[in-house]
Amino acid sequence: MSPVVGTRPKPAKMRANTTPALPCDWRGRLASRFGFQLAIRGQPARLLPGNIGAMSQPAIYYFDNNATTRVAPEVVDAMIPFLREQWGNPSSTYVFGRQVGEHVDQARARVAALINAEPREIIFTSCGTESNNSAIHSALVTQPEKRHVLTTAVEHSANTKFCALLQKRGYAVTYLPVGPDGALDLSQLEAAIRPDTAIVSVMWANNETGVLFPARDIAAICRRKGVLFHTDAVQTLGKLKIDVRALDVDFLSLSAHKLHAPKGIGLLYVKRRVKYQPYVVGGGQERGRRGGTENVASIVAFGRAAELAMANLPDENTRVRALRDRLEDGILAGIPGTSRNGAKEPRLPNTSNIAFDGVEAEGILMLLDQAGICASSGSACTTGSLDPSHVLTAMGCSAARARSSIRFSLGIYNTDAEVDYVLEHLPGIIAKLRANAPGG
Ligand code: PLP
């Protein structure tokens, strides 16, 4: 496999079947395709563990923690005062504002401590997407003579879509391929660094398969070659220890909603003395590196979540890993025609991506949803057609396999009983779908 320069490898456009593309109403489409009744789930209401506000909700078995995580009750408690009472602007000169600014500083110190950074190396952003865009943008703006970005074919769209935009603006982008297990060839990466490479941007953990790239080794190559290195560590956060000093990375992106904090808050770590040009320009917030009045309550929430994450890390790597393994082993052993996508190791402790031969992921997701189970597929529904996951197709999976794959991603709130529930219901769901498949 040779790196693809200039154009992102486009996954083959998948049509759901021979019927013309429909609006993206996959539930309706599937119901008619598979002949299922679209039942409104009539399950007995169950209180979620530690449910806030004692509102009863239908039972949810949440296995989609790579999409987002439940906001921890402690995090909600921490942010509420900044919505109710302490709503001042941290840039204001009077005490009512300045006090709020102190809480922003405290949160900055907390998230910095989680990743072994200095507080001044943290720029709060609106999300992981903004952080990725900002890092690449800064590398290009501060080195105008360099017009090449080196990345991989399996990055999140927060990276690849930005790179595609750069290409339209005349920049060159190389998308490194991966092997069938999702791994990168580091000698290929090193060889692809050019004299005009402004930045190497490679994710640490893949959001779909959980496969880990050797971020530290990539950083060492970049250091040797004198090129900036950015890693998207959005999925690593809270699951593995992040130490930016040990990693020796120039830029690192994080997003709080993967860490039991709210959506809409992220950060970009910028190593001290690395030149930085802001992406969002306006007021002088974030020491002039990101304009816009701070999202104070969410920043405070991020800080509190970072504190909790320090305590929860061992649980992610022991209990959550064991739950994930029991779920994965149970599916692979208990349901014929199943196999894992991506290497078993090195992998995030919470993620499992499984192909179910002969069944479409959307059908599985629909029936899982009816059973109250939340999981996901990498397929994107755009303008009525189904694009198979670009991650799985880059790994060499056939379009059919990519379209029959489901991601389960666990978290600290999952229990043994919930894994049992999935293992109890999934075999019947797959059998039902296979029996209803054309020729089944
Ligand atoms: N990078 C990765 C690997 C992700 O998984 C995600 C979100 O799922 C993002 C970036 C984007 O983060 P955000 O939703 O905060 O923009």
pLDDT digits (tens, 9 = 90+) for 129-166: 999 999 999 999 999 999 999 999 999 999 999 999 99
pLDDT tens across 351-408, in order? 999 999 999 999 999 999 999 999 999 766 544 557 899 999 999 999 999 999 999 9
Atom of ligand 1 nearest to the CA of 256: 15
The reported pLDDT for the residue numbered 222 is 98
Main-chain phi, psi angles of 415, to 5 degrees = -125, 165
pLDDT tens across 54-74, in order? 456 678 999 999 999 999 999
**Tell me, what amino acid is at 337?**
G
Cα separation, 107 vs 125, in Å, equals 13
Residue 302 has pLDDT above 50, yes or no: yes
pLDDT tens across 81-132, in order? 999 999 999 999 999 999 999 999 999 999 999 999 999 999 999 999 999 9
Give the three-class secondary structure for 439.
Answer: coil
Q: Is 243 left (phi over 0), alpha (psi -120 to 50) or beta?
A: beta
Return the best residue to mutate from 156, 237, 279 for the ligand 1 pocket (most ligand atoms within 8 A of CB). 156
The reported pLDDT for the residue numbered 43 is 38
Ligand 1 mean position, distance from CA 428 (Å): 33
- The average confidence (pLDDT) of the chain is 89
Residues 6+ apart with CB under 8 A from 423: 327, 330, 331, 334
Return the best residue to mutate from 207, 268, 353, 389 for the ligand 1 pocket (most ligand atoms within 8 A of CB). 207
Cα separation, 118 vs 413, in Å, equals 30
Q: At which residue do the structure tokens 């690849």 appear?
A: 160
Ligand 1 mean position, distance from CA 257 (Å): 9
321-328 mean pLDDT = 98
Ligand 1 mean position, distance from CA 372 (Å): 24
**Cβ atoms within 10 A of the Cβ of 372, count?**
18
Residues 6+ apart with CB under 8 A from 260: 69, 70, 71, 72, 75, 238, 305, 308, 309, 411, 412
Ligand 1 mean position, distance from CA 233 (Å): 9
Out of 222, 374, 381, 397, the active site residue is 381
Residue 332's beta-bridge partner residues? Answer: none
Whether 24 is a known active-site residue: answer: no
Q: How many angstroms separate the Cα of 435 from the Cα of each of 28, 105, 311, 402?
A: 20, 58, 46, 20
Main-chain phi, psi angles of 150, to 5 degrees = -110, 125
User: Lowest mean pLDDT: which of 177-191, 274-288, 373-387?
Assistant: 373-387
Cα separation, 394 vs 405, in Å, equals 14
Give Cα 405 distance to the centre of its chain. 17
In the DSSP assignment, the letter for residue 108 is H
Residues 6+ apart with CB under 8 A from 317: 239, 240, 349
In this prediction, residue 46 has a pLDDT band, given cuts at 50, 70 and 90, of very low
Residue 9 has pLDDT above 70, yes or no: no
Question: 131 near 269, Cβ under 8 Å?
Answer: no
